[in-house]
Amino acid sequence: MKVFVIGLDGATFDLIQPLIAQGFLPNLKNLMARGAWSELTSTVPPVTASAWNSFMTGKNPGGHGMFDFMQRRKNSYDLTPISSHDRDGKTVWDLAGEAGKQSVVMGVPITYPPTPLQGVMVTGMLTPRGAPDYTYPAELKNEIAQNVGEYVVYSDEVYAKGRGEIFLNALQYSIQQRAKTARYLLQKYPWDLGILVFPETDTVCHGLWWAYDATHHQHRQENAEKFKHGIREIYQAIDARIGELVAALPADTTIIVMSDHGHGPLRNFLYVNNFLKQRGYLKIKNTLASQLKNLAFDAGLTPRAVYGMLLNLGLGKLRRTMDKRRAGRGMLKRFFLSLNDVDWANTRAYSVGYIGEVHINLKGREPQGIIEPGAAYETLRDELIRDLRAMQLPDGSPLVEHIWKKEEIYSGAHVWDAPDILFLPKNLETIAFGDFEFGSNKILEPSYGVSSSHRMNGILIAAGSQIRAKPRIAPTPNLTDLAPTILHALNLPVPPDMNGRVLNEIFAETRAVEYGGSAAAERADGEGYSPDEQAEVIERLKDLGYIS
């Protein structure tokens, strides 16, 4: 028995089903017709960093310890991108390897630096540009170059005015090279578990949803007609590659097509730290430099204002050049308000994250924590929840649709480190930035630069000789269910400390789940990135709109 997983980052049935109805995705249509399919519930928040780690470990973020792209350094308020070294828990390919099975793993986000496995690996999103060590074993990189040609770990191009065709051509090229590399590795190396992730489905939606969606507030741009089919073209290209890959698989292969989250239109940016600052939860240092920056910030001198001007002039890449240079990165903190200007000794709460995450400045956890655990902590959380619930959209409706205390949705060894409050804005049409650099002086403003954001509903399609043909899987599975289901399909035991369940209802022959072993694992020692690599990763996250 073999299992081959095709990950379509950010894919949604909201796009796939209409495209199938129009005759554009024959291979996905065929897999759905002969197998089982369903929406797939993502993690809270539905962000790549936490979601893919839940896919690979079968654990919720409280178990694997990855809550967003950026995390606070231990004993510091400085932020750093997460890496594979920060993951707590064995991956599904680790567990397969312990049972003597071989894996080919390609393009899975948050796998850099690559870690040893029984098989081969090419890392995915958050691999720094130009990284020399993005494969395991290390020599695999040269082998791919010699036998396939250039491999694009993650396309450099993002949509910018005047560069739409360049953007789409770059995605088409990376899809082509990714699929060619996958075919080569699957033919060259023995494997029982194969995983291939296409990030282009996510990238194209962030860049071109405004052109596809006539109701989007950016749709009036002059190029909307020219690029309105751009998303469809990328889905079509990947569908064609899926057809080629599936046709070459052994007959007994179980095929799983999945996404880590969905996608939908983005309407607003919410700057959570500005809200906390306005309400007195977050304080700025009372030094001359910080107060001058604060005055400039209030007057509108912000990185977002400057970047918006660059985008309108077609110079979006100029910011990338500045970000790459240490002098440029230092200038941002020297001239613009940043977390370096926060008066932590008088700050009660702050935000870090892509969707909606609020951290209490807790004594014993944060280096300058001032809130006592216990009654004071709970009182503050209740106060914050009331204030967050009171926020409104421009039409007067509540901005926050769902809100939780962390223990209501997380469990595991890392709940202590989790954001203390998590919320999802209405319809997830608002990105709630926990600012990296206080990007804007607004609390809420219309979005620009990126035009779509993540949704909780990803996709799941399963097909193959092991899979029962049925129209839908019910109840709706969770992303954490995939790791135990993959192990079960490989006739391997499922660690009882996984949070997910085996989706036994999709199998043609139901058999008892075997439990055994453990998904617990120690985190790797050392930093995941060098200082220059951190800068590259942060730059890419800014390009995609994940941090401001």
269-300: pLDDT as tens digits: 999 999 999 999 999 999 999 999 999 999 98
What pLDDT is attached to residue 318?
Answer: 52
Q: How confident is the model at residue 216 (pLDDT cuts 50, 70, 90)?
A: very high
Whether CATH 3.30.230.10 fits 2-261+454-522? no
**Each residue's pLDDT tens digit, 483-493:** 999 999 999 99
43 and 353 in contact (C-beta within 8 Å)? no
Distances (CA, A) of 316 to 61, 375, 508: 33, 48, 52
**Contact (CB, 8 A) for 474 and 38:** yes
Q: What is the mean pLDDT of residues 395-403?
A: 97
Helices (H), 217-259: 224-227, 230-247
pLDDT at 535 (0 to 100): 85
CA gap 170, 106 in Å, rounded:
19
Are the C-beta atoms of residues 198 and 107 closer than 8 Å to each other? yes
Q: What's the pTM value of the predicted model, to 2 decimals? A: 0.94
Burial class (CB in 10 A: 0-12, 13-18, 19+), 290: middle
With 70 as the cut, is the pLDDT of residue 328 above it?
Answer: no
Q: What pLDDT score was predicted for residue 314?
A: 64
Looking up tokens 């630096």, which residue turns up? 113
In the predicted structure, residue 161 carries a pLDDT above the cut 90: no
Average pLDDT over residues 189-203: 98
Q: What is the DSSP letter of 407?
A: G
Rounded distance, CA 539 to CA 543, Å?
A: 6
Q: Which amino acid is at 436?
A: F
Whether the CB-CB separation of 257 and 8 falls below 8 Å is answered with: yes
Q: So where are the chain's domains?
A: 2-261+454-522, 268-302+337-446
CA distance 274 to 264: 25
User: 30: pLDDT confidence band, cut at 50, 70 and 90?
Assistant: very high
SS3 at position 115:
coil
Distance, CA of 353 to CA of 56 (rounded, Å):
21
Alpha helices in 287-431, H assignment, sequence order: 288-298, 303-312, 316-324, 326-335, 375-389
For residue 436, name the pLDDT band (cuts at 50, 70, 90).
low
Q: How far apart are CA 4 and CA 489, in angstroms?
A: 11
> What is the percent of the chain with per-residue pLDDT over 70, rounded to a whole number?
93
6 has a pLDDT exceeding 90? yes
